[in-house]
A and B are shown apart, each in its own frame.
Chain A
Amino acid sequence: MYADSRFDYLDRVRYGLAYVVTPLYWVADTPARVSDWIDDVLVSHQDLLEEKNQLQEELLLAQRQLQLLASLTSENSRLRALQAASQSVSGQVMTAEIIYISSDSGSRRVLINRGARNGVVNGQALLDAHGLMGQVIEVLPYTSWVMLITDVRHGTPVQVNRNGERAIARGSRSTAPELELEYVPETADIESGDLLVSSGLGQRFPKDYPVAKVTSVHHDPGQPFAVIKARPLAQLDRSRHVMLVISPVELNESELTILASDEMSVLPSTVTKPSADSEPSASSEPLVDGAPVEEPNAQASPAQLKPEE
């Protein structure tokens, strides 16, 4: 036990033993899959038609928004190219399913059905349809452990969508799945109802994904910092279908190398998937990674060196 906590050579043992226990998860997950399947099979014709109509309406709306977004994205990438910035807002995603939830009341972790064989690496962000859920902390052959953003030991770098105010959202100590904003000065302009999005600082999470909504702001005159609570937007206790995002660090690295190789190339938005056997590149420290790190574009990229007229 001591060896496992201090050194990492036992990781390989864990990795190997995980082959043995994976079938158990598969069997334990069978009832959920069967009920999903029954839901799929036993649907009336009427329900299907209604659902189809509803989906078509939603698709129309989404396509309209997508058109707007496309112009915004191209404008944004032009501006970023001007600045020689190398951050990409979008990334590739991989779908996954939650197959087990840790029964330990003091830590909030889930197990997903994608592992090293599917190209998962340490530190990847997990999303559901509504917002950010957590990050991968341990990769096993066919499964991976994900720490949710509401875990006490997890800190998410966020910013207020309205005005860009930055903060770190930590999992709450109470039993309710909440987030608390840490070390926010009394004068900060944060109101209840504000949307918190991931700020991309710390280089773990992709930028601009919705994280939480502020539920209460409490100014205690006796305390140096305001007490701000937020409710995660992701349905942490209900979602089963989730998405894994290729981590922004890899995006930046691949793009930086491309930039370095070809000076005139415009930022490519396509990213190659990491190979299945790639080693986890980021450190496995699951603690607060929200220290204000410098933006990656501060590193000299060739386009910046061009003399301006």
Chain B
Amino acid sequence: MEPRDNAFWVILLSFAIAFLLAIVPFPEWALNYRPQWVVMVLIYWAMALPYRIGIGFAWVTGVMVDILDGSMLGLNALALTVVVYITLNLHQRLRMFSAVQQSGLVLALAGLHMLMVHWMKIATDQTVSSNLFFLLGALSSAFLWPWIFVALRQLHVGFGVK
């Protein structure tokens, strides 16, 4: 077995796809339902490989999201760090959960992420407070979670990511 054969590139690839999906144009009516792809992918890898995907990785991912979104540097980084911290604390229980229970937790985490980003943006005067319909994105994330989970599981096992 080669020393570098832990297929880390699969993780990077999954994140690249998540970034792409996060900036793909959405129709106007569906903007509020935009799923939190990056959050979901991050939760999966933090749950599956807690020794590899940690808080530092989450922070770097968040900085990338900040650049993509044109928001203040560190805003998404902080929110994603909190999300991953919670996931890391819960990862052993999370693995035992059924798909529905996992979806519930993803709903909570994605909602927390969006709320934190929203509040920080208001506090730093980057946006104005509007209605909370954007939280529907957390709902669509939770709805998509079982499929994301299966897909990432396939990648994980298929490529033997360790």
User: Which A residues contact B (CB, under 8 angstroms)?
Assistant: 1, 3-5, 10, 13-14, 17-18, 20-21, 24-25, 27-28, 31-32, 100-107, 109, 111, 138, 145, 152-153, 173, 175, 237
Contact = CB atoms under 8 A, between A and B. Distances in A.
A21 B62 CA distance: 13
A4 B26 CA distance: 29
B72 A4 contact: yes
B58 interface: no
7 contacts: A1-B74, A4-B72, A24-B19, A24-B23, A28-B20, A104-B121, A104-B127
A238 to B, nearest CB: 11
Contacts of B63: 17
B126 interface: yes
Contact of B73 (A10, A21, A106, A145): A10
Instruction: Name the interface size band of chain B.
Output: 35 or more
A4 B74 contact: yes
A1 B130 contact: no
Given A102-B70, A106-B127, A145-B70, A1 B120 contact: yes
A4 B120 CA distance: 13
A3 B78 CA distance: 14
Given A1-B124, A103-B26, A106-B121, A24 B31 contact: no
A295 to B, nearest CB: 31
A100 B23 contact: yes
Interface of B: 16, 19-20, 23-26, 28, 31-32, 34, 63-64, 67-75, 77-78, 118, 120-122, 124-130, 133-134
B31 A111 contact: no
A172 to B, nearest CB: 11
Given A5-B72, A28-B20, A105 B34 contact: no
A13 B25 contact: no
B28 A237 contact: yes
B64 A1 contact: no
A103 B24 CA distance: 10
B74 to A, nearest CB: 4
Nearest to B125: A153
A17 B76 CA distance: 15
A106 B74 CA distance: 19
Contacts of A21: 19, 64, 67-68
Contacts of A31: 24-25
A26 B98 CA distance: 38
B122 to A, nearest CB: 8
Given A3-B73, A100-B23, A107-B127, 5 more contacts: A5-B72, A21-B67, A25-B23, A32-B25, A106-B122
A149 to B, nearest CB: 16
A13 B73 contact: yes
- 5 residue pairs, one from A and one from B, having the closest CB atoms: A106-B127, A1-B74, A4-B73, A107-B127, A28-B23
Contacts of A27: 20
Contacts of B127: 104-107
A106 B131 CA distance: 9
A3 B125 CA distance: 15
Nearest to B129: A106
A107 B128 CA distance: 7
Nearest to A101: B25
A75 B70 CA distance: 45
